[in-house]
Amino acid sequence: MTAAKIVGLMFGVACVAGSNGSAPPPPPKTMAPLEQYLMAPADEAALARTAAPPAISDKAEIRVLTRTGYEVAAKGTNGFVCLVERGWTAGFNDPVFWSTRNRGPICFNPAAVASVLPAHIERTTWVLAGLSREEMERRTHASAAANTPPAPGAMSYMMSKQQYLSDDGSHHWHPHLMFWVRHTPAAEWGANQPGSPVLGGADEIGPVTTFFVPVGMWSDGTPAMEH
């Protein structure tokens, strides 16, 4: 499985038909007006909390996207950080990169907060500064944050029933856990094998392999249906 496929899986395989049954328009090829990516802070904070079960997200720090970057909306006590990612944290060649519909609630554990989240925040900073996708890709190759290996135990929750991750298939894919490790052959986790629930592959840039493990329920405890 290629890195591009894995990044696509991270954002799911989603499709929400319009009221007339037609597919939504394709994502823009360049950045849309910033307003189309923003949410009301209270709504975004509530959506961020749906990324993980309440036992985790209720005690997590919550950040919301503003015109100047992610800001803390609620302080936490357990070391987790929950926020809502946009399409630009996908691969640079992913069609969802500039999507105005993508909303990916995610909760990073403390190890991921220290070693994975900085690269996500950095890319958002570049987006808000008006950089092109090509310039961001160039900077990523030289970025200390993007090229820092994940800390041992780095993982996150993406279990929100409300996530919108792509325009193809089911818009919320599956509730899943993500594990970030130093470059590791996917076969060492039994990933991408027939019957294996584990998906994985190397990131496009940086010393990271990401593994995805679908789970059987959403963060609110209801069972996840097959899509």
Structural tokens at position 97? 């990169």
Residue 34 has a pLDDT of 98
Residue 73, token pair as written in the block: 């909306």
Alpha carbons 199 and 215: distance in angstroms, whole number: 12
Tokens of 77: 């006590």
Q: What is the pTM of this model?
A: 0.88
| Coil, strand or helix at 16 | coil
pLDDT, residue 194, reads 95
pLDDT value, residue 5: 39
- Give the pLDDT of residue 10: 44
Is there a contact between 52 and 157 (Cβ–Cβ < 8 Å)? yes
User: Helix 133-142 to helix 117-128 angle, to the nearest 10 degrees?
Assistant: 140
Averaged over successive runs of 10 residues, the pLDDT of the chain (227 residues) comes to 38 34 80 98 98 98 98 98 97 94 97 97 98 97 95 98 82 89 93 95 87 96 80
The residue extents of the domains of the chain are 3-15+33-214
Residue with tokens 């060492």: 188
